[in-house]
Amino acid sequence: MMLIQLVFAGINILYKLALDDGMDVRILVAYRYLFAMAFLCPLAFFLERKSRPRLTWRILMQSFFCGLFGGTLSQMLYINSMKLTSATFVSAMTNLTPPMTFILAVSCRLESLEIKKAGGQAKVIGTLLGLSGAMLLTFYKGAEIKLWLTSINLLKTDKACNQQLNLHRESGNRVLGSFLAVASCFSYAIWLIIQAKIAEVYPCHYSSAALTCMMCALQAIIFAVSTQRHTKEWKLGFNIRLLSAAYAGIVASGSIFPLLAWCIQKRGPLYASVFNPLMLLFVAILSSILLSETLHIGSILGAVLIVIGLYIVLWGKGRERGEVHEQLQVQSTMESIEIVAIPSTNPSPGNKSFCDAENKGDKFEAEEDGP
């Protein structure tokens, strides 16, 4: 999961550079999943051709919705939000994914609330703290914070243009960008729930990821072609557009999606979402160095609240797992208890059977409802 967040941080930087180059958001998403499909389909065919279960209409429909919520819709919303705000801001907002995943998981009965226990209370408190941090991040800015004395600005726009863009973002675009980021997190949380469901009946990570990317590519191409028909916009040269689409498709989707599906199958959708604060840290460092982005007090405080809430949820989840593990251990111990009956030294006629058993070296098991 740490490797996944590092790769996702690289996507944010390349996305911002591709948008600065004038690349259309819809075309960028379409190319991403075309590259991912071309990379994953041969791998899935050769690696899982003997272990892959039969493909059913139910699995196809689940893959379609995985592609819609986890790929096409979430990426469209995410990149448009980044276009209106900044890479660091959008990365901070993605930390809302765990509390949203928790709410959906409780609704779908993949997680238990148990409000009377400490674990359930921690998950509720952590969710509320995360939402409070998101509100602070959206509506409060504060003073600027300089992380480095010098930085590299890979964006084409000069400093004056960047200042005008920042003033433009401070208006209603910041609120709209926040709304799009929240919608992207909600869409991604829905994908995590659907992915957990599909992993139960189709536990082939490469094939599942290939199906998802195929559905994403189909949906994104249909949407992009219907809204952007200029062939000039679809051309890719040896530039940042090709690098962004190839990195996002081959590395982030083709290589990371199977790994993420494996993590979800092993530890559940909530566990897979609790590492998002690492991406915020990576993006904040990279964007301040490479994109000359400045942080603000409001962003720092909001991100801290989101991260605290996130790890309170994680603590509650870990406590619940510990309680369940202890209950299983107690139950297993009670079922395997054996009582050895030792006869008295002066046997009476009533316990003659015990003496006979001692002479034979036998052990007696006590019945569960016995004395």
Query: pLDDT by residue (tens digit) across 280-309?
Result: 777 777 777 777 777 778 778 887 887 788
Q: Of 194, 183, 184, 188, nearest to 61 (Cα)?
A: 194
For residue 341, the model assigns a pLDDT of 52
Residue 118 CB-half CA count within 13 A: 7
Backbone φ and ψ for 144, nearest 5 degrees, come out as -80, 150
Cα–Cα distance between 288 and 362 in angstroms, integer?
75
Instruction: Give the mean pLDDT of the chain.
Output: 77
Region 194-203: mean pLDDT is 82
Find the range with the poorest average confidence among 52-56, 66-70, 196-200, 335-339: 335-339
Q: Residue 353 pLDDT > 50, yes or no?
A: no
pLDDT value at 152 more than 90 = no
For residue 214, what pLDDT band results from cuts at 50, 70 and 90?
Answer: very high
Task: Grade residue 365 by pLDDT with cuts at 50, 70 and 90.
Answer: very low
pLDDT in tens, 158-170: 544 554 445 444 4
Q: Which residues pair with 296 in a beta bridge?
A: 144
- What pLDDT is attached to residue 19? 83
Whole-model pTM: value is 0.69
Q: Give the torsion sign (CA, 256, 315, 75, 155).
A: negative
Whole-number pLDDT of residue 314: 76
